[in-house]
């Protein structure tokens, strides 16, 4: 019963609003659809990334050396960590001369180990960190439009309310009457845009905070993985000094 009454109040307020107020409500509803589409799509994307990340981290931690996954050509690049890993490994192999590269690839067969200088380790770290930054942008993709939708909906509502109240008072001044029965409908319809703005912003704000928390967690995990990867590469391959 309550939802029906609530809907009828909103509908009546929409009908009583002027064209500008109705336009603002329509814009707010479009923003709501836009925000929900982003939230649903981003949540599904993060679920998939989380699943692929867990699988990859398990393989990486079980591998005896840092390059085993890359040498076996287990290349999916579905999660940000996989992109960081494979990009870093590609840059690592390009660092060596052909003979040293063959030694490194042959490490699985106990061939002589190739070695990296400290400067080469720093260059490789820069590559990993640059790729990490790119993947952070990938994880945060869509968050700015969602944040814009969260903030713009109530601001549009406030603007519509101020506009509606201004119109109502102008009409009252033109008639020279201060009757509450004449002022109340205009004020009621003016408040509609604020109500709709809050109805759009509240769930969008909750969704944004939940998604932002998941993104932040994945970013921290990617940063930790990058440090872990470079530490293993340095421990296994650093052997020469500048």
The DSSP secondary structure of 96-107, one letter per residue, reads S-HHHHHHHHGG
Spell out where 85-234 has E strands: 116-117
Is 75 contained in some domain?
Answer: yes
Mean pLDDT computed over 166-171: 76
Is 1 contained in some domain?
Answer: no
- Rounded to whole angstroms, the Cα distance separating 68 from 65 reads 6
- 102 pLDDT band, cuts 50/70/90, is low
Global model pTM greater than 0.75: yes
Helix (H) or strand (E) holding 239: strand 238-240
Is 122 contained in some domain?
Answer: yes
Portion of the chain with pLDDT greater than 70, in percent? 77
Q: In this model, does residue 216 exceed pLDDT 50?
A: yes
What pLDDT does 223 receive?
A: 95
Out of 30-34, 78-82, 112-116, pick the least confident. 112-116
Is 9 contained in some domain?
Answer: no
Is 11 contained in some domain?
Answer: no
Q: In this model, does residue 111 exceed pLDDT 50?
A: no
- Rounded to whole angstroms, the Cα distance separating 161 from 73 reads 61
Q: In this model, does residue 236 exceed pLDDT 60?
A: yes
Mean pLDDT computed over 151-162: 89
Number of domains within the chain: 1
Q: Rounded mean pLDDT of the chain? A: 81
180: left (phi over 0), alpha (psi -120 to 50) or beta: alpha
Out of 46-60, 164-178, 201-215, pick the least confident. 164-178
Strand, coil or helix: 178: coil
- 172 pLDDT band, cuts 50/70/90, is confident
Is 5 contained in some domain?
Answer: no
Is 67 contained in some domain?
Answer: yes
- Rounded to whole angstroms, the Cα distance separating 226 from 233 reads 11
Is 30 contained in some domain?
Answer: yes
What pLDDT does 237 receive?
A: 75
Residue 112 has what DSSP assignment? P
Q: In this model, does residue 2 exceed pLDDT 50?
A: no
pLDDT tens-digit readout, 19-76: 788 888 889 999 999 999 999 999 999 999 999 999 999 988 888 887 778 777 655 6
- Domain of 231 in residue numbering reads as 16-240
Residue with tokens 């509803």: 29
Using an 8 Å Cβ cutoff, are 17 and 9 in contact? no
Mean pLDDT computed over 117-128: 87
- The residue with greater pLDDT, 110 or 175, is 175
What pLDDT does 43 receive?
A: 95
Paired tokens of 23: 């336009």
What pLDDT does 30 receive?
A: 93
- Rounded to whole angstroms, the Cα distance separating 188 from 135 reads 48
Out of 143-147, 187-191, 219-223, pick the least confident. 187-191
Using an 8 Å Cβ cutoff, are 212 and 143 in contact? yes
- Rounded to whole angstroms, the Cα distance separating 34 from 164 reads 26
- Rounded to whole angstroms, the Cα distance separating 139 from 149 reads 19
């Amino acid at each position: 019963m309550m939802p029906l009454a609530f809907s009828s109040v909103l509908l009546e307020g929409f009908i009583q609003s002027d064209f500008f107020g109705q336009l603002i409500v329509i814009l707010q509803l479009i923003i709501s659809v836009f925000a929900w589409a982003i939230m649903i799509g981003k949540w599904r994307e993060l679920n998939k990334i989380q699943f692929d990340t867990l699988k990859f981290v398990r393989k990486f931690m079980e591998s005896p050396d840092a390059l085993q996954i890359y040498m076996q050509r287990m290349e999916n690049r579905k999660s940000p960590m996989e992109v960081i890993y494979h990009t870093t490994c590609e840059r690592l192999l390009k660092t060596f001369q052909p003979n040293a590269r063959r030694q490194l690839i042959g490490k699985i067969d106990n061939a002589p180990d190739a070695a990296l200088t400290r400067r080469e380790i720093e260059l490789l770290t820069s590559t990993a960190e640059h790729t990490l930054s790119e993947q952070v942008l990938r994880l945060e993709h869509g968050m700015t439009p969602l944040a814009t939708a969260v903030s713009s909906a109530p601001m549009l509502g406030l603007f519509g309310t101020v506009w509606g109240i201004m119109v109502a008072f102008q009409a009252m001044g033109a008639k020279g009457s201060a009757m509450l029965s004449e002022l109340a409908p205009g004020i009621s319809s003016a408040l509609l845009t604020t109500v709709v703005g809050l109805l759009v912003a509240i769930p969008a704000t909750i969704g944004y905070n939940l998604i932002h928390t998941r993104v932040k967690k994945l970013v921290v995990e990617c940063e930790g993985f990058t440090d872990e990867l470079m530490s293993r590469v340095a421990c296994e391959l650093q052997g020469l000094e500048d």
